[in-house]
A = this chain, B = another copy of it.
């Protein structure tokens, strides 16, 4: 799925009002791209908001306006985990992203100049507030549910904490309640790869011949290691070779896989969005701006389902369990489910049936 197909025929929410940002700046106006599946019912009580991971667009499922398969194609549809016979599913491209929402690659208002690296610092909370504006614009006062995995799982938690009276159910998958140092370390080195690339040009590469695609590919490859698991790769690649012979390039099969994965994303994703949104993940804590982490957790009032995978190395399952225990400690009606699959952090994209059943059951409660 190339970048053009990810922004084809999305819906667009334009907010002409300023959005104050947690770190002190503001956006004078902003746009969010989103897509929907199913029908909003008469009393507007059946909406489910889906947040994406770091690099996905709002195109979670194919639809008549864009028939390319979405990133969670099997999860959304009639009778699926996100059952479109019952729910009006809305997927939004992150504020700060590059698939139709306002981000560093966008033009500044009333200008032909891009934000570029001058885009103001964003936090997960800012992304949640922007999404809430879009939800309110649809006349939706309460969401039947909010959910997401990875960065989307952080956003779901934050959304439920920021808008406790507007959320009826919360599902957070393979995320964390506060980002830890090893996870920060991975994203730090990803960013250094990009920042050191002369083609990055201090972030002003847009209207030049050179783009930082080489470094974006390597940054993605670092991510790819953390998205899957050693166990999966032992089974899938082992010590298999490509047959190309001794080289520093793709010689082992696992190297060929990384080469492919890295270069695929490098041509789709804006480097400045990558820097901005990975940093937002590093800053994330449910306690951010509150007096304590506990206070952030205690703000969540809706029943919650917290899910994780035993082989996740980016947000290890004990972090999801810690969120569950913190919620339980505050009296939240919470459940924890752990899947022991070997596809690691990305399991939500692989084990769609498992997650679909759990999501369906929880939304129908």
Interface residues of A (CB under 8 A from B): 23, 121, 178-182, 184-186, 188-189, 191-193, 195-198, 214-215, 217-218, 221-222, 224-225, 229-230, 233-234, 236-239, 246, 248, 251-255, 258, 275, 279, 282-283, 285, 313, 316
Q: How far, in Å, is A253 (CB) from chain B's closest CB?
A: 8
Given A181-B252, A234-B181, A246-B121, CB of A188 within 8 Å of CB of B258? yes
A145 to chain B, nearest CB (A): 29
Interface hub of A197, A255, A283 (most chain B Cβ within 10 A)? A255
Q: Is the CB of B248 within 8 A of A191?
A: yes
Q: How far is the CB of A255 from chain B (nearest CB, A)?
A: 5
* With A193-B193, A246-B121: A225-B182 Cβ-Cβ less than 8 Å: yes
Identify whether the interface residues of A are mostly helix, strand, loop, or mixed.
helix
Query: A232 → chain B, closest Cβ, in Å?
Result: 9
> Across the interface, do A193 and B181 meet the contact criterion of CB distance under 8 Å?
no
Q: Are B225's CB and A285's CB within 8 A?
A: no
| 15 pairs, CB–CB < 8 Å, chain A vs chain B | A179-B239, A180-B230, A180-B234, A181-B254, A182-B225, A182-B229, A182-B234, A185-B225, A185-B258, A191-B248, A193-B218, A222-B222, A248-B275, A248-B279, A251-B282
Contact of A189 among B181, B221, B233 (CB under 8 A): B221
- CB neighbours of A184 from chain B (8 A): 239, 252, 254-255
Give the distance in Å from the alpha carbon of A221 to the alpha carbon of B185 in the complex: 9
Q: Assess A198 versus B195: contact at CB under 8 Å? Given A218-B189, A254-B181.
A: no
Question: Which residue of B221, B239, B285 contacts A181 across the interface (Cβ within 8 Å)?
Answer: B239
Given the complex, which residues of B lie within 8 Å of A180, measured CB to CB? 230, 233-234, 238-239
By Cβ-Cβ distance, the 9 closest A-B pairs, closest first, are: A181-B254, A182-B230, A181-B233, A181-B237, A188-B255, A196-B214, A189-B221, A192-B218, A191-B248
Complex formed: what's the CA distance from A234 to B251 in Å?
A: 35
User: How long is the Cα–Cα vector from A248 to B180 in the complex, in angstroms?
Assistant: 16
- Distance between Cα atoms of A197 and B196 in the complex (Å): 8
**Distance of A191 Cα from B252 Cα, bound (Å):** 14
CB distance from A291 to the nearest CB of B (A): 16
The distance from the CB of A137 to the nearest CB of chain B, in whole angstroms, is: 30
CB pair B23 A246 closer than 8 Å: yes
Q: Chain B's nearest CB lies how many Å from the CB of A153?
A: 18
